A and B are shown apart, each in its own frame.
Chain A
Amino acid sequence: MILDQVVTGLLTGLIYGLLALGLSVIFGVMRIVNFAHGEMSVVAMYAAWAAARYLGLDPLLSLIPIAAIFFGAGYLLQRGLIQPFVSRPDYMQFILLISVALILTNGALLVFGPEARGIQVDYAFDSYEIGTFLIDKVRLLAAGAALTLTGLLLAFFRFTLTGKAIRAAADNRTGAQVIGLDIGKLYAVTFGIGTASLGAAGVLMALLNDAIPRLGPELTLLSFVIVIVGGLGSMTGALAGGVLIGVSEALAGTLLQPSLKSMFSFALLVLILLLRPQGLLGERS
């Protein structure tokens, strides 16, 4: 029973990892904290819901086009709105992105209304019995998709020239300028990638949770906790933090009460900040 919950938490945590990766990548490269992170992924949840409701698309299929659209939107948002703020003080960036967050939340409220929107797939109640474990099919598929996408992202940053160029710009901005990397474009691509990850994570979460406007700030906060626990700017750290928080939430929900799960996550955050301020896989600066 408890082990079942650990597995459930682990699977949810893989989706959290993808979600947090979006925040981590953007911060790691351009030192901008995306305060509209959770709100953006709620928009993706609604997009998945609308695709399922009106086009009959399974979220596992609408995942790709929605992530692609989110990439484009993130790219344009960076070029048009965020780039002028990159070298401005932190509080200005903060206000800009909080405004974006408010616009998105209220926009969702306006378009979709305050009630929860859930997706019903026909395999919603299927489950697999593996040994003594009982695993939801939906959760397993969503987690598998999240893990695949995370792996692809990590490979992109490790093996492609653009991925390496983005890491180089994060490592030494002046150095990147010196050898003629187009920093503005790399930043826009990075924001696009971060937005695509949070979008994909939002679509996958829509399989497990109902979309509701007020979920945005919760997801933003959850992602902050994960990224700090895993290590700011570390991509594998985001994944590890996601899994850890996922498991901790699931255990808190079973052993105590579901409503206490956030308290557990924050307790974990405080512990990490006390004992290992750079996060699990972060590097000391």
Chain B
Amino acid sequence: MLDVENLDLAYGDSRALNGVSLSVAAGTITSVVGGNGAGKTSLIRACAGMVPAQGGRIRFDGTDITGWAPHRICDLGLGQVAEGRQIFPSLPVLDNLELGAALPRARKAAKQSLEKVFALFPRLAERKAQRAGTLSGGEQQMLAIGRCLMGLPRLIMFDEPSLGLAPAVVKEMFAIIEGLHRDGMTVLLVEQNVVHSLKIAHHAVLLENGVAAMAGTGADLLADDRVRQAYLGL
């Protein structure tokens, strides 16, 4: 569904991605793991059109979206839950959600989408009038996910959804992602929490210094000695 081919990306002189290829099949969870600075966030930002790629192609559902503006890519149904949540802190929760449905593709269904999001995250419904910046970290992550769902995505790219959350909330977050997948969502998951994200992944890619160093099923990577030594400390 999302096909990345030989993607090159650099910020000035420093290369972030070097010929990375990756394929996310419809209805699966694909995990990209790797250390800090491996290029995981760059990969997502390039797919979302937020940074220009120097080389390679990105296709979503057969459409070549290389070089497209972010709002056009979003409107195809490629959603994103960004690193650091990126909510609108001074706007109420409800406005945050409503803006998620500002995309042309999602505007008509905004009302039903809101009901669905509130059913999924009742806590957001309780706090809908509250300024988003006053929510707890876990609640802000729920808001970021809910806001993304409001745009009726067909594939969601999650960037470090567990970062900075308490262990119990991390578990909840992975349960939410699995739940979305069960309901038919295609997921691209980028995580530093290697064990958790490999466990739920159908397909996984290890990114090291901007290069796709290894690919396989989640279980393959979990069983690999190199991954175990470098990322699991075993």
Name A's B-contacting residues (CB within 8 A): 161, 164-165, 167-168, 171-172, 174-184
Q: Does more than half of chain A's interface fall in helix, strand or loop, or is it mixed?
A: helix
- Of residues 54 to 74 in B, which have CB atoms within 8 Å of A's CB atoms? 69-71, 73-74
Q: Is B90 positioned at the interface, with any CB of A under 8 Å from its CB? A: yes
**From A168, A178, A184, contact of B91 by CB (8 A):** A168
Return the chain A residue nearest B78 by Cβ: A180
Whether B82 is near chain A, meaning CB under 8 Å from some CB there, is yes
For B88, list chain A residues within 8 Å (CB).
167-168, 171-172, 175-176
Count of chain B residues near A, Cβ 8 A: 26
Find out whether the CB atom of A171 lies under 8 angstroms from the CB atom of B75. Answer: no
Of all chain B residues, the one with the shortest Cβ separation from A171 is B88
| Residues of B bordering A, CB below 8 Å | 48, 50, 69-71, 73-75, 80, 82, 86-91, 95-96, 98-100, 102-103, 147-148, 151
Contacts of B102 in A (CB 8 A): 161, 165, 179-181
Q: Could you tell me the distance between the alpha carbons of A182 and B99 in the complex, rounded to whole angstroms?
A: 12
Q: Which residue of B lies closest to A162 (CB)?
A: B102
- Nearest CB in chain A to that of B147: its residue: A179
Q: Kindly state the separation between the CA atoms of A175 and B80 in the bound complex, as whole angstroms.
A: 10
Contacts of A182 in B (CB 8 A): 69, 71
Contacts of A164 in B (CB 8 A): 91, 95, 98-99
Given contacts A168-B88, A180-B71, A182-B71, 11 further A-B contacts (CB under 8 A): A161-B99, A168-B91, A168-B99, A174-B82, A175-B87, A179-B74, A180-B102, A180-B103, A180-B151, A181-B102, A183-B71
How many angstroms from the CA of A7 to the CA of B32 in the assembled complex? Answer: 66
Smallest CB separation, A44 vs chain B (Å): 31
